[in-house]
Structure 1
Amino acid sequence: MTQPPLVFDRTRLAANFAKRKGQPDFVTDLVVADLADRLAPVTRAFPKALIMGPDPALLPDTAQSANGPIRFEKISSLLEVDGFALADPEHLSLPARDYDLIVSLLDLQTVNDVPGFLENLRRHIAPDGLLIAAAIGGRTLSELRDAFLAADVEILGGVSPRVAPMIDVRDAGSLLQRAGFALPVTDLETHTVRYRTPLALFDELRALGVTNPLAGRDTRMLTPRHLMRAAEIYAERFSDPDGRVRASLEILWLSGWAPHESQQKPLRPGSARTSLHDVLKDTSKP
């Protein structure tokens, strides 16, 4: 079996996260609030539910669906935290295989084998159970990527991988189908975050533990000259009239159901009773 390429250094990522020491995390807060809004109208009870993410201390203990309260079992996908089990997304093994609901928050964007991870999640969900996942979307920090690309070319004469590749919304549905989920749904929440200066953005990324996690990163130290040139380019290209700079943040949401015979099935080819010609015909003619 072909092994997926090693894109992310998860050991480095865990070390970065472990240094955060209670730093406020507005991205996780945003995702958790959105999760509550997404679960609230679902007319389904979830007596056995699990939620997983890099830092379990930031995950909610409970949620609410239209059918009543949901109490989560919490699992860490990155950090070794006292009181919480650790599940490696690259070799996933969860405590049970009959969850009615699994929620994965901010795991997907740092998993080397995304199809394998989604397929393993499906194997831990009971028939007609639900998966909800949130990941950082493909256009996140596009401004930072552009600024460092220009600075690398100018100073190094070439480019160095600095911003992690992320899942595009156009690929998300096919990833769910490939993993065996039925009725897949994907959507994108887009936000613009503004900072006083590019250096303020750099400082927050470092405080959140999300600096360069790539396995193929350049191991040379980033010089002050290089960093300041990237900040200058960022400010030149992505400043608003008030002088503040903007950064793009995309949250990609995926949901799918473990297959069950009761679910709606697509029609067999040729079984439709109305032809496409009849639907699209010119009704202006007698």
Structure 2
Amino acid sequence: MPSDQPSSAPPELFDRAARRRRRDRAQPDWAAHDFVRAQMLDGIAERLDAVTRRFTDVLDLGSFDGGFPPPPGARIARCDPGFRFAARAGGVQGDEDRLPFAGGAFDLVVSAGVLDQVGDLPGALTLARRALRPDGLFLAAFLGAGSLPTLRSVLLEAEADRPAARIHPQVEVRAAGDLLVRAGFALPVADVEVLTVRYAGLGRLLTDLRGMAATNLLAGRSPLSRDTLARAAAAFAARADPDGRTEERFAIVHLAGWSPSTEQPKPARRGSGTASLAAALAAIRTP
């Protein structure tokens, strides 16, 4: 017989409270570890430069220290899951899948470096689209599939008998584009760029990840033992090049989509296009 009781909500993928605490711990020394997000912001700026229209109300979603500069003359609201980052940026504290903003409040939403830590990514994208006015633009970047392969490999080697979940689930670029469609965005575009960094040791990589607030936030995670960490460090060192450095990769997924409007051009049949991301963004002209 069917139950009359409402179904329970699915379990949270990430520990929200731990995420807030780690962002607060990362804030004082953020500038020493912001290179991945700086790369993301450069990509967002490049894509924004390809758009010839003017924006007046901007949301910086996942603001960190407020490093994203608004377009000339635009007002900007900043939102971050961490209290200290939100305060430093002059914004408000809030999660990406629980936005504290009214629908249609913005004509540009940007997000760099946070969407890979959101359990309900489809919901977060839907809320970002709802926060936009018709013909508003969404630009985002986050770490996707292919990120941290060396760290994943050495941790699996170090815990070969009983491997634990240490790396967050990662979104493929094609799936990210599909999520934009599911969230209701028009003219969706997704692409990926890879940033390669060479480290002298595993400790330096882990220090960067802590400084980025990018360590393991999975609910139900277990701590690394000293023995496991030592084995992982040895495996990391064994992968070093002749200069004594080991490569690690950060795969940055870039997303772009428009809030639907009757004035927008109709997209071509799926699979028939060959246009670049810049061309797709430039398709919307200033009225």
Q: 1:162 to 1:100 in 2, by over 3 A?
A: same
SS of corresponding position for 1:19 = helix
Question: Match for 1:228: what amino acid?
Answer: A
**Shift, 1:264, TM fit:** 1.8
Greater CA radius of gyration, 1 or 2? 1
Q: Which of 198, 206, 209 in structure 1 is aligned with 2:210?
A: 206
Q: Which of 13, 22, 34 in structure 2 is aligned with 1:7?
A: 13
Do residues 76 (structure 1) and 84 (structure 2) align? no
Question: Match for 2:235: what amino acid?
Answer: I
Partner of 1:19: 25
**Shift, 1:34, TM fit:** 2.1
Partner of 2:164: 160
Q: Which of 213, 217, 223 in structure 1 is aligned with 2:225?
A: 223
Mapped to 2, the partners of 1:181 and 1:2 lie a distance apart of 29
Mapped to 1, the partners of 2:47 and 2:267 lie a distance apart of 25
**Shift, 1:2, TM fit:** 7.5
Consecutive unaligned residues of structure 1, counting only runs of 5 or more, are 64-68, 270-286
Partner of 2:282: none
Aligned residues with identical type, % of pairs? 37
**Shift, 1:267, TM fit:** 6.7
Do residues 125 (structure 1) and 126 (structure 2) align? no
Q: Which of 137, 144, 155 in structure 1 is aligned with 2:144?
A: 137
1:216-267 C-alpha deviation (Å, 9 max, x unpaired): 211xx4222210101111222x322222011011111101111111222257
Consecutive unaligned residues of structure 2, counting only runs of 5 or more, are 1-6, 271-287
Mapped to 2, the partners of 1:101 and 1:142 lie a distance apart of 33
Q: CA RMSD in A?
A: 2.1
**Shift, 1:4, TM fit:** 4.8
> Which has the higher mean CA deviation after the structures are superposed, 95-104 or 244-253?
95-104
1:40-63 C-alpha deviation (Å, 9 max, x unpaired): 1211111222212152x2432323
SS of corresponding position for 1:8 = coil
TM-score normalized by the length of structure 2: 0.83
> Which has the higher mean CA deviation after the structures are superposed, 191-200 or 80-89?
80-89
Q: Which of 20, 45, 59 in structure 2 is aligned with 1:50?
A: 59
Partner of 2:106: 99
Q: More relative contact order in 1 or in 2 (CA 8 Å, sep 6+)?
A: 2
